[in-house]
Chain A
Amino acid sequence: MQHQTEVTNGASVPQLNGSSDGGSAVTVNGVKDETKKALKLDPINRDMVRLIGQHLANLGFQSTVEQLMAESGCRLDHPEARRFKSSVVEGDWQAAEAALLELQSMLNNTTHLTEMRFLILEQKYMELLERGDDIGALNCLRGEISPLDHNISRVHRLSSLIFYNNPAELKKATNWLGSGPESHMALMERLSAYLPPSVMLPPRRLERLVIQSVQHQVATCEFHNTSIEPLLKVDNLEGLSLSDVVVSSSCLLTDHHCGKEHFPSTCLYTVTEHMDEVLVAAFSPNGRYLATAGKDFSLLIWNVDNTTLKISKRHCLDGHNFSIVFLSWSHDSTKIIACMHEDASELIVWDAERGKQVCKVSDSTSDSLTCACWYKDNERFVCGGLRGQFYLCNLEGAVLERWEGVRVQSLAVHADGKTVLASDTHRRIRGYQLETVQDYSILQEDHGIMTFSLDTTGRFALLNVTTQGLHLWDLNSRTLVRRFRGATQKHCTIHSCFGGINQDFIASGSEDHKVYIWHRNQELPVAVLSGHQLPVNCVTWNPVQPSMLVSVSDDRTIRIWGPSQTNRLNRDADAASTSGGLSDGDDDEPDSPRASNFQFPHSLISGLDISSH
């Protein structure tokens, strides 16, 4: 035993430097013969050694790999498979076929053999065509491909390709890469899918496993709110290498675990400008303005500084005679609609930059227009209310279309820009196209839908369902994805929103005076923020500054939430000391004890280009 360790630790180094093959290898083998039998590996470890060997071989450590294989008694690939692979890569189709026939016994399925042969012959045929060798191609088609009696429709398609005059047209018509190493590698990848892993290892398998594990760590990271660390939503790993996905090696050495550096966890400051209960708040889509409104009949527009997270008053818009209960920003952040209480019978559209009224919509005195949303063209909007009004209006306040027969409680515009999603008193959400007078059902709930909002992709809808919590629905498949528990909402209308980078978080107000934040994948909240003294009516998350959250409440205050002071100081200090480099995580914050820290300036917003270091 000791003898063996001596050889590997001590003597193996000079051996590699000198001549690691020939003579000394014999000695090594001789010495190790007895010990080789001692290294009996169970199947799992054998596969582990093969994976490690494959990774080392990809990096270029050929002699190490040979020694590893000798020592462990495993082999990377079956020798026939290796021969097969090299002949495919070179384009030597005959040798490839021969090697394939040798491998025949090891395939799982006899149809696989035919499919592989078909693929090889298909490539051969295409290459002959490209070269202009029509006779050869025809012979191949007739004599080799057709007898296979496989995928006849494809054979017919192939035979039609003979009519193409030049290779360029041929390539365009079939999306084929042309003959050459790239195309051969692609073919090899497709063929390797048919070979069982004991015969030939899937390419770059160890890297794939590590990428999957890193993605899993990020997916379970509760406060993950940065675009910096590993890409999370990569489905197709085919073209990716490890260095594309994992930015810093600290992710491999310790489990990825975000602290709260980018997560809103403390109340940065409170603003008391409103004279009465504040009912709604909304950030503009460009993140530069914040609008708040409530029972004091005034709509306040604030400028938002995304670096210092401070807000300053821009406009105080009066002209409402009733409390404002709903706000809707246009998609270009220039205009905002203020909808009022049921008894108001009108709504006002404001120009947010200049602070002037654009128009009013007041069709009749018995109307109630309590919710609204904009079309993507920012010229027209839809509004509706509990008394059955459902109008499409333009910027002059004229009603263009009317839809009768539905009492609308909340509105949002569909991803296509022109269909409107409306929740109504029958506890449904339906889609409406007011111009073409079409509608369709999307989902039905068992309890009243108070409000709902869509995420930026337009695929998911977050519903505030009275007494039941928040429901996340997938609108494409019309299924309920998840319910979020914790918040109380029985009596009052509470608003919720998506937030964070990639909209991974969900926040909601609650009647128990707290702000609740959930991660999209978990039912229970990751953070519960206290501070308000009365029910929190609405929360809104800054779309361009993912660590800033605003909540408004019956206690007349607006609270701005962001990362705690120490977290931000750490983040900023580290950024000032090193620019882009990885400094070691000297964080004395109790809730982020790990060494993985992200040292980037806090003026960073999503869409950062990750520079190498």
Chain B
Amino acid sequence: MGRVYIEHPGGSKIFSCGECCTPVTNRKSLISTRFTGATGRAFLFSSVVNLIYSSVQARMMLTGRHMVRDVSCKYCSAKLGWIYEFATDESQRYKEGCVILERALIVETDGIEEL
């Protein structure tokens, strides 16, 4: 597929795809750890890179009805979580635009000191 263009989120602690170690996001973008996905714990992040988004689906979750897109690694297409696009409940609005990554599917590594 040519040379896939990979960005890097920077930061001191980096979360990467569990399969191919492509960097996805960092601790700075972490909003909350109290989420649950199919495989168990999941984290909510505000900004991510190197992901591809599926088409939007409506899903019923513990917290209510949401419109979400599944999110996969750009490099190896492993499914990593989902992104909230629309929340029906006003109280859930804060999640819109943020990405859930399941803890079991990502790895955490150290970043470098950056200018």
Contacts and interface: CB of A to CB of B under 8 A. Distances in A.
Contacts of A493: 2-5
Given A277-B1, A554-B1, 9 more contacts: A323-B3, A388-B112, A425-B7, A425-B9, A491-B2, A491-B5, A492-B3, A492-B4, A537-B3
A448 B114 CA distance: 17
Contacts, number: 56
Nearest to B3: A493
A450 B112 contact: no
Interface of A: 277, 279, 323, 325, 386-388, 404-407, 425-426, 448, 450, 466, 489, 491-494, 511, 535, 537, 554
Contacts of A511: 2
Interface in B1-43: 1-10
B8 A406 contact: no
A407 B11 CA distance: 11
A234 to B, nearest CB: 41
Contact of A491 (B1, B8, B49, B112): B1
Nearest to B2: A492
Contacts of B74: 491
Given A386-B8, A426-B10, A491-B74, A405 B113 contact: yes
Nearest to B1: A492
B3 A405 contact: no
A386 B112 CA distance: 11
Contact of A406 (B2, B6, B9, B115): B115
B57 to A, nearest CB: 22
B10 A404 contact: no
A327 to B, nearest CB: 12
A325 B1 CA distance: 13
Contacts of B7: 425, 448
Contact of A387 (B5, B9, B112, B115): B112
A494 B3 CA distance: 8
13 contacts: A277-B2, A386-B8, A404-B112, A405-B113, A406-B115, A425-B9, A492-B2, A493-B2, A493-B4, A535-B1, A537-B2, A537-B3, A554-B2
Nearest to B112: A388
Contact of B113 (A277, A404, A492): A404
B5 A279 contact: no
Contacts of B3: 279, 323, 325, 492-493, 537
Nearest to B113: A405
Nearest to A279: B3
Contact of B4 (A386, A448, A491): A491
B5 A406 contact: no
B30 to A, nearest CB: 19
Contacts of A388: 112, 114
A535 B114 contact: no
A405 B112 CA distance: 7
Interface of B: 1-10, 49, 74, 112-115
The 8 closest A-B pairs by CB, nearest first: A492-B2, A425-B8, A388-B112, A405-B115, A493-B3, A493-B5, A448-B7, A405-B114
Contacts of A489: 5
Nearest to A341: B3
A279 B4 CA distance: 11
A407 B113 CA distance: 10
Contacts of A406: 114-115
A407 B114 contact: yes
Nearest to B8: A425
A511 B113 CA distance: 35
B36 to A, nearest CB: 31
B5 A535 contact: no
B52 to A, nearest CB: 8
Nearest to A278: B2
Contact of B10 (A279, A323, A425, A535): A425
A387 to B, nearest CB: 7
B32 to A, nearest CB: 25
B84 to A, nearest CB: 22
Nearest to A439: B115
Contact of B6 (A386, A426, A537): A386
Contacts of B8: 386, 407, 425
A494 B5 CA distance: 9
A425 B6 CA distance: 9
Contacts of A491: 1-2, 4-5, 74
Contacts of B113: 404-405
Contacts of B49: 448
A196 to B, nearest CB: 59
A385 to B, nearest CB: 10
A448 B112 contact: no
B85 to A, nearest CB: 19
B47 to A, nearest CB: 13
B109 to A, nearest CB: 11
Contacts of A466: 5
A254 to B, nearest CB: 45
A511 B1 CA distance: 10
A425 B22 CA distance: 14
A425 B114 CA distance: 11
B88 to A, nearest CB: 30
A404 B2 CA distance: 29
A448 B10 contact: no
Nearest to B49: A448
Contacts of A279: 2-3
A446 to B, nearest CB: 13
A535 B2 contact: yes
B2 A448 contact: no
Contacts of B5: 448, 450, 466, 489, 491-493
